[in-house]
Structure 1
Amino acid sequence: MEPQQEADPAAGATVRPRRRGRTALVIAAAVALGLVGGTAVGYAVQAERAPTPLPPLSQPRLSYPAEPLPKGQGVEPLSAKEDRRARTSGDLTKVLVPRPAGARESELAWLEDGWTGLDGYVLDFQSEGYMFESLAEGGFRRTASTSWTQGEHRRTTVRLVQFHPGPVLGAVEHAEGQLDYMDDPERGAGNEGDPIKGTADGRYFLYKVKNKPGYLPSYRARAIAYRGDVMLDINIFDTEPISKKVIRTLAERQLERL
């Protein structure tokens, strides 16, 4: 049974406590409906409005003119003579230094119509397999070659080893790899060589003479340099001493053509 309520002497009636739970729920529901309705109305109103244009971007004036410049005032494109890439992207054999007057073309198995395959180029290296794999991974593209003979025993070979463009600068890597061991008397010339004019790291070398019983003495000179994506590799062999001027001049002439 519910407990009895005390009588109010002034009112002469019984006072019951007010139930607050139901009223609070009604108010909360009304507030929720008001929020939902207000949001829906807001979206509807916004959808009917025209879009507000964004403010202009703050940026400097574009560098190119709105209209073409008058003839003679624009930057002229490089000529084929000035553009190194244009000179080496076509027939690379045409860039090879020409044979000297009186020189005879050398008949070599690995040289055909001015070109040398990768397998033919690595024949001059002690570690042929390693060089083949290294050059292939370095982006080897092609090798333009020329070779001639002067006198009885002097043979000169000029090779332009070109690499594909990529993250690894193949011509630079190959040239620097060769230069690194040239001061080794067993693998290279046994000296630091001399710098080639007009290059950053290009050098030419004279090897120590090799004497073997029953054979003529063997002399050798070599020049190594790079220009863009092309590595220059020149070798001269003879049974008589080779002057520095000969190898230096040949390297400079070839680099000028690149």
Structure 2
Amino acid sequence: MNDEENSPDQGETTPDDTVPAPAARPRRRGLRTVGLLAVAAVVGLVGGIAVGYGIQAGRAPVPLPALNQPGLAYPAKPLPKDREPEPLSAAEDRGAKTQGDLRKLLLPRPASARADEDQPDGWQSFADYVDGFTRPEAALETQLDLGIRRIATRAWRTGEHKSVEIDLVQYRPTSAQGAREHVMQQQRIAIGESGAGTLGTAVKGSSEGRYFVYPVRREAGYLDAYEARAFIQRGDIAITILMYDTHEIAESEIRSLAERQLGRL
């Protein structure tokens, strides 16, 4: 055998000499299936809404049930005379007293007392009322902001130097907090003043009413000065009681006045 017969043909190729084919690109499993499911879900949701809306639109409207309102509080026709409710008594209706003549709610002047000619008695103007404040103009502005409505006053003197003044300051119904704000402000002034030295004493029958008895004030060339005050709120009315004397004022005296004046409201 010659070498030429045993040697491969130079024009032929063997498997070892062939270039290997590139490997196939791996398939991303599942993505196509997930996409098809998502599209099907969206189509099903939109189709369900459309079908439901079409069915509801094709139905006849159902009327709402009638409102159940038996025995209305305000009947269309007036009640018969024998079925009308009894009006509230003065004890049950606080407004029955305070909407009338406010002067009638003031404590009467004691039989042994005389009118104080230096103080108004009856109705008091706003200007006269704020005249006793340190800053009358600012006090008037504050009172107007609180909704002050009217003032009833009673003042008297007993003995040589004792004087008493009671003010009923009423505020407008739309300013329900006016009376309380005024009372709280006067109490703060009383507590903060020199010589007070106390938070005051609660007035029986009042949630926030208090009375104050001050220590004597002495000044050369003047008589001793004693003072007691009470500030109470009752609804839309602020009660102020002022007592002055050159002799000691008993705590029971200002307390009794405060409780009796509150009781008339």
The TM-score normalised by the length of structure 2 is: 0.70
Structure 1 residues 142 and 203: CA distance shift in structure 2, 3 A = same
Q: Retained in 1: the 8 A contact 2:202–2:210? A: yes
Query: Where do residues 158-173 of structure 1 align in structure 2 (5 Å cutoff)?
Result: 158-173=166-181
Note the C-alpha offset of 1:123: 2.3
- Supply the RMSD in Å over aligned alpha carbons: 2.6
Mark the runs of 5 or more structure 2 residues left unpaired by the alignment.
1-59
| Matches for 1:11-50 after TM superposition, within 5 Å | none
Tell me, yes or no, if structure 1 residue 107 matches structure 2 residue 117.
yes
SS at 1:251's partner residue? helix
CA distance in 2, matches of 1:230, 1:216: 35
Cα offsets for 1:160-218 (capped at 9, x unmatched)? 001111155211111111112322133x8332110000000000000121111111011
Q: Aligned match of 1:244 in 243, 251, 265?
A: 251
Is the Cα–Cα contact under 8 Å of residues 122 and 128 in structure 1 kept in the other structure? yes
Q: Which amino acid aligns with 2:210?
A: R
Q: What number of residue pairs does the alignment pair up? A: 204
Show the counterpart of 2:138. 130
Indicate the residue corresponding to 1:80 in structure 2: 90
Are the structure 2 counterparts of residues 142 and 70 from structure 1 closer, same or farther at C-alpha, using a change threshold of 3 Å?
closer
Kept after mapping to 2: 8 A contact 1:196/1:203: yes
Listed as ranges, the matches of 1:1-258 within 5 Å are 53-57=63-67, 59=68, 61-62=70-71, 64=73, 75-108=85-118, 111=120, 113-186=121-194, 189-258=196-265
Which residue does 1:16 correspond to in 2?
Answer: none
1:65–1:117 distance in 2 versus 1, CA, 3 Å: closer
Contact 1:182 1:190 in 2 (8 A): no
Per-residue Cα deviation, 1:55-112 (whole angstroms, up to 9, x for no partner): 223x5644649795995x8753212344221111111101100011210010125x1x
Q: Distance in 2 between matches of 1:235 and 1:257?
A: 18
Q: Which residue of 2 aligns with 1:12?
A: none
How far apart, in 2, do the equivalents of 1:103 and 1:145 lie? 15
Q: Is the 8 A contact 2:228 2:249 kept in 1?
A: yes
Query: Secondary structure of the residue that 1:248 maps to in structure 2?
Result: helix
Counterpart AA for 2:219: K
Unaligned runs of 5+ in 1: 1-48
Look up the SS of the partner of 1:149 in the other structure: strand
Tell me: CA distance 1:244–1:69, structure 2 relative to 1, closer, same or farther (3 Å): farther
Paired letter, 2:136: E
Whole-Å Cα distance in 1 between the matches of residues 74 and 92 of structure 2?
26
2-side partners of 1:166 and 1:64: how far apart? Answer: 26
CA distance in 1, matches of 2:156, 2:189: 27
SS at match of 2:212: strand
> Using the alignment, how far apart are the partners of 1:149 and 1:130 within structure 2?
30
User: Which stretch shows the higher mean deviation, 232-241 or 177-186?
Assistant: 177-186
Amino acid at match of 2:217: K
What amino acid does structure 2 have at the position aligned with 1:96? L
CA separation of 1:102 and 1:171: change in aligned 2, threshold 3 A? same
Distance (whole Å) between structure 2 residues aligned to residue 91 and residue 131 of structure 1: 25
Question: Given the superposition, is the C-alpha separation of residues 168 and 228 from structure 1 closer, same or farther in structure 2, using an over 3 Å criterion?
Answer: closer
CA contact (8 A) 2:122 2:152 kept: yes
What secondary structure is seen at the aligned counterpart in 2 of 1:255? helix
TM-score by length of 1: 0.71
